[in-house]
Amino acid sequence: LTYHHGDLREALLVAASTLARTGGPDAVGLRAVTRAAEVSHNAAYRHFADRDDLLLAVSERCMERLADLIARRLSEVEAGPDPGRDAWNRLYAAGYAYVEFALAEPGWFRTAFAAPPPGRLPDLGAPLTDARPYRLLSEAIDGLVAAGVLPASRRPGAEFPAWAAVHGIATLLVDGPLRLLDGDVRDQVVAKVVTAVGTGL
Amino acid sequence: LTYHHGDLREALLVAASTLARTGGPDAVGLRAVTRAAEVSHNAAYRHFADRDDLLLAVSERCMERLADLIARRLSEVEAGPDPGRDAWNRLYAAGYAYVEFALAEPGWFRTAFAAPPPGRLPDLGAPLTDARPYRLLSEAIDGLVAAGVLPASRRPGAEFPAWAAVHGIATLLVDGPLRLLDGDVRDQVVAKVVTAVGTGL
DNA sequence: TGTACATCAGTGAACGCGCGTTCACTGATGTAC
DNA sequence: TGTACATCAGTGAACGCGCGTTCACTGATGTAC
């Protein structure tokens, strides 16, 4: 019996992530998490105010994971002779990565977007700019303007249709009516959406 | 005490809808619903196999409501001299209606897309064509081709980017990181997305 | 037309479950003198 | 350097809750003779 655990907060977040991975946000309960971390069921109260606080923390972690994959896929785009082409490739890579994450880790994806119950909102002035996936997508569009392949006049607000499209197809495929779509058809649908993100700008 | 209720199944669905309207799918429980219908907690078993069966039924009803609003907004589009313009207006109307419903009735919207737990899937051969909102959107795009403003070569699969965009912005606004967006900004974002649906085709 | 009876929609009590949260506690750690 | 003590991270028992589901039942309805 070791009393001071070392880093119980981290251990709880890891356990919560494992549960969320298969069960989504609903699987993140105080009792379930502490059980998984092999610790008494109220030990978590030393590190989190309550259940929602824990869920919020693991949700943020899932959001980071999504952003990490997008960032990785962006970094894998190799530069060619045409900067405009590169900029487009980066946008597509970001869009694909978004959907790739949702399909590969549906539990984490759902947890990332699990809303805290109304009233518990951390009083944020900038609600969306904090979401790194949004920022990465936005920066990819900035890249289009910088490369001269998107008129600056079309830039303002252009990230919203892009975000909506990839987020929409991701949720439709993961949770929604498209959830039992077969692999090949699914890939074609995703490709359709991602390319439409480009033409939509 | 009236024993034979008349149409308890319908009464239960109405009660469930009322609960879902404010509380979303999680608010649809056997005990909560039967309590709201002022009936003993296991009376529901005469009409539904179990809790998931009830949820599925109310979910379908919510989906119909979404489709009803889209159909209504479509029927309100008045025909002008230019059939091509009309076809575009119909597509935009459908897209707006989709988001309008989600924002006006977030609980119903979430319930409509509440997935039955895996394994409980009714073994459907055509998973998506049954969703009326999808069909209405799809038919609006057919209208573009019929009016000659969209090349037939671009038609196949064009409904997916359109659906994804409106569904995506709807969920981001209702449940997601954009949920605390202010009214005016919100309207602009929705407009951005809906028009991008058009240019994306 | 009246009566016996099957059907079946609803009742009410009880089951076991997992949950979040609170309480008084224990015992290891680190600090002050 | 050694000891007294405060701190604080974890324990374990207990609370009340709402849930889904099962059981044996009751009593109204409709049908057959």
**Joined tokens for residue A200:** 């939509």
User: What would the mean pLDDT of A6-12 be, rounded to a whole number?
Assistant: 92
> What radius of gyration do chain B's Cα atoms show?
19
Say what the pLDDT of residue B5 is. Answer: 73
Residue (of A152, A167, A163) closest to A200 by Cα position: A163
d(CA A80, CA A86): 6
**CA-based radius of gyration for chain A:** 19
Q: What residues in B contact A171, CB-CB < 8 Å? A: 113, 167-168, 171
Q: Is A152 exposed, middle or buried (0-12, 13-18, 19+ CB in 10 A)?
A: exposed
List the one residue out of B158, B156, B101 whose CA is nearest residue B133: B101
Inter-chain residue contact B164 with A164, CB threshold 8 Å: yes
Integer Cα distance of A79 and A86 in angstroms: 6
Looking at beta carbons, which residues of chain A come within 8 Å of B130? 177
Q: Which residues contact B74 (CB under 8 A, 6 or more apart)?
A: B90, B93, B94, B97, B136, B140
Residue A126 has pLDDT above 60, yes or no: no
Residues whose C-beta lies under 7 Å from strand D: A 1, 3-6, 8, 39-43, 46-47; B 3-4, 29-32, 35, 41-42, 45, 50-52
Residues above pLDDT 90, as percent of chain A: 86
Q: What is the dihedral of CA A129, A132, A135, A139, to 10 degrees?
A: 160
pLDDT of residue B116: 73
Tens-place pLDDT, residues B109-150: 999 999 776 655 555 555 666 789 999 999 999 999 999 999
Question: Tokens for A89?
Answer: 């490739």
Q: What would the mean pLDDT of A174-188 be, rounded to a whole number?
A: 92
Q: What is the pLDDT of residue A195?
A: 97
Confidence of residue A130 (pLDDT cuts 50, 70, 90): confident
Residue A53 pLDDT: 95
Contacts of B188 in chain A (CB under 8 A): 157
CB distance B55 to B114 below 8 Å: yes
* pLDDT of residue B9 exceeding 70: yes
| Whole-number pLDDT of residue B73 | 98
Pairwise CB contact (< 8 Å): B199 & A199? yes
Query: Between A21 and A130, whose confidence is greater?
Result: A21
* Site of tokens 């549960």: A19
Query: What number is the average pLDDT over the span A17-46?
Result: 96
Query: Looking at the predicted structure, is the pLDDT value of residue B1 above 50?
Result: no
Per-residue model confidence (pLDDT) at position A119 = 59
User: Positive or negative, the Cα torsion across A9, B172, A26, A70?
Assistant: negative
Lowest-confidence range among A35-44, A123-132, B143-152?
A123-132
> What string of DSSP letters covers B164-193?
HHHHHHHHHHHTSTTTT--HHHHHHHHHHH
- Per-residue pLDDT band for A1 (boundaries 50, 70, 90) equals very low
pLDDT at A127 over 90: no
Across A68-84, average pLDDT: 97
- Give the separation between CA B143 and CA A101, rounded to whole angstroms: 35
Q: What is the DSSP letter of A28?
A: -
Specify the DSSP class assigned to residue B6: S
| Secondary structure of residue A37 in the 3-state scheme | coil
Pick the residue of B56, B138, B192, B201 with the most A CBs within 10 A to test the interface with A by mutation.
Answer: B192
Q: How far is CA A11 from CA A31, A37, A108, B60, B189, in A?
A: 14, 7, 17, 41, 40
Can you tell me the distance from the alpha carbon of B70 to that of B67, in angstroms, rounded to the nearest whole number? Answer: 5
Q: What is the mean pLDDT of residues A85-94?
A: 98
Residue A134's pLDDT band, with cuts at 50, 70 and 90, is very high
Lowest mean pLDDT among B11-20, B68-77, B80-89, B110-119: B110-119
Residue A29 has pLDDT above 60, yes or no: yes
Give residue B6's pLDDT band: very low, low, confident or very high (50, 70, 90). confident
The rounded Cα A83 to chain-centroid distance in angstroms is 27
Residue pLDDT, tens place only, B157-190: 999 999 999 999 999 999 999 998 988 999 999 9
Mean pLDDT of all residues in A105-112: 98
Q: Which residue is nearest to nucleotide D23 (CA to C1')?
A: B42
Q: Is B47 within 8 Å of B40 (Cβ atoms)? A: no
Is residue B192 over pLDDT 80?
yes
